Amino acid sequence: MSDDENGIESYLRKGAVVGLHLDPVQNPGPRSRILVRIRDWETGSHIILDRPKSGGRYAPLRREQPCIIRFVASSNTCSFETTVSSWEEEGQNASCWIEWPGNVNIIPFRKYYRLKVTLPCKFSLEGGICYGEIRDLSMGGCGICVQQEVPVNTVFRLAFTLPDGLTLENVGAVVRAARQIGKDYFLGCEFADRQEHVQSDIAFSVSVAYERERSDAKNAKPHVLIIDGQENNTAALRNDFNLRGWDVLTAAGTIDGLQRLRAAKPAALVISQDQRELTGLDIVRLVKLTRGFERLPIFLYGDDDEALKEKAARTGVKTFFALPLNSAAICAAVVADANSEVRS
């Protein structure tokens, strides 16, 4: 993964389909994503999109509304945080303007990397609806285990839910290979071309899983993820964790942090309350709503404010630390909590 502050424009393409997620804190999860197209942009100023529609109507917008954009470009999955700046009120083809992002999070992906999965699916054939199980998944296709014979070159429509919770429906595919395994049949299927939203969604799931495998191989030592845009804070924390034999991953913002969280599966998460777009507590809420991370130990630091401390406790923060930053105390608390989990 990498941040690219100066080359964002190289990943943009007019007419490309992107996923727009409005108000990610109030509307967490992939189901709230809206597909729109990039219309144009002015470097360093703004990006113009289709005005988003939900349920056949224009989605409500407001100025400085937080949003997340994600898309696939040049064998990379790209995502960034930004805000809505303006929009057109009327017209069948109204536009929406979003602010030019400060950075974009990039994950290179391997198109033919196959992710081992167990995903229930259903698909439509001439005889009706059939059910099966996807056993492997790549950006270009999937392997499906079914209980009935399906001829090679059969064209069908597929529906399934990705590991991150996003449901894909009406996905065009064709059977390229079929073989019988005991009482079941295994189908090697290829996704139809020109399904940009499908390719984007699958690429994110596959690339995150690939990054996780690489991270698991590299991180034999326990590791912590720190989300803070202030380099002096992350440097101090990194030093203390390294002294205790821990590896440290850092992220400067929400998007980068959530991507690294899914890829690395750290033993603990340390967050600064002071962030560029969302607050630290907002990020805590997002993490707690992310499948597989509901019980992840989270430690928050911020201003010496009793109300903030109480909110942190209600949100599920393990321990709140008041500024000025005491990196040694935070490190000690994280390590002690990890050790207690091992003993229990």
Q: What is the mean pLDDT of residues 104-117?
A: 75
Q: Among the ranges 79-83, 139-143, 313-317, which has the highest mean pLDDT value?
A: 313-317
Report pLDDT digits (tens) over 242-266.
999 898 988 888 877 887 887 778 8
Give yes or no for a contact between 297 and 284, defined as CB atoms under 8 angstroms apart: no
Is residue 162 within 8 Å of 170, Cβ to Cβ?
Answer: no
- The CATH H-level (homologous superfamily) assignment of domain 115-200 is predicted glycosyltransferase like domains (2.40.10.220)
Percentage of the residues of the chain whose pLDDT score is greater than 90: 44
Q: What pLDDT is recorded for position 17? A: 86
**What is the rounded distance in angstroms from the CA atom of residue 27 to the CA atom of residue 32?**
6
pLDDT higher than 50, residue 149: yes
Quote the CA–CA distance of 209 and 200 in Å, as a whole number: 14
Give the DSSP H or E segment for 181: strand 167-181
* pLDDT band per the 50, 70, 90 thresholds, residue 37: very high
Tell me if residue 106 falls in helix, strand or coil.
strand
Q: DSSP string spanning 295-333? A: T--EEEEESS-HHHHHHHHHHT-SEEEESSP-HHHHHHH
Average the pLDDT over 212-230 and give the result.
74
- The 3-state DSSP class for residue 204 equals helix
- Domain ranges, ordered by start, for the chain: 2-108, 115-200, 219-343
Tell me the two tokens of residue 23.
């108000």
pLDDT tens track for 326-335: 999 999 999 9
User: Does residue 6 register a pLDDT over 50?
Assistant: no
Mean pLDDT of the chain: 85
pTM of the shown model: 0.59
Does the pLDDT of residue 30 top 80, yes or no? no
Q: Please give the average per-residue pLDDT across 33-46, as a whole number.
A: 91
Alpha-carbon gap, residue 129 to 121, rounded angstroms: 10
Write down the pLDDT at residue 184.
Answer: 92
pLDDT of res. 31 = 61
CATH 3.30.1490.20 fits 2-108, yes or no: no
Stated length of the chain: 344
Confidence (pLDDT) at 155: 92
In terms of CATH architecture, what is 219-343? 3-Layer(aba) Sandwich (3.40)
Q: What percent of the chain has pLDDT over 70?
A: 89
Q: Give the pLDDT of residue 9.
A: 86
Residue 299 has pLDDT above 90, yes or no: yes
- If you search the block for the tokens 């019988």, which residue do you land on? 180
Contact call for residues 301 and 235 (beta carbons, < 8 A): no
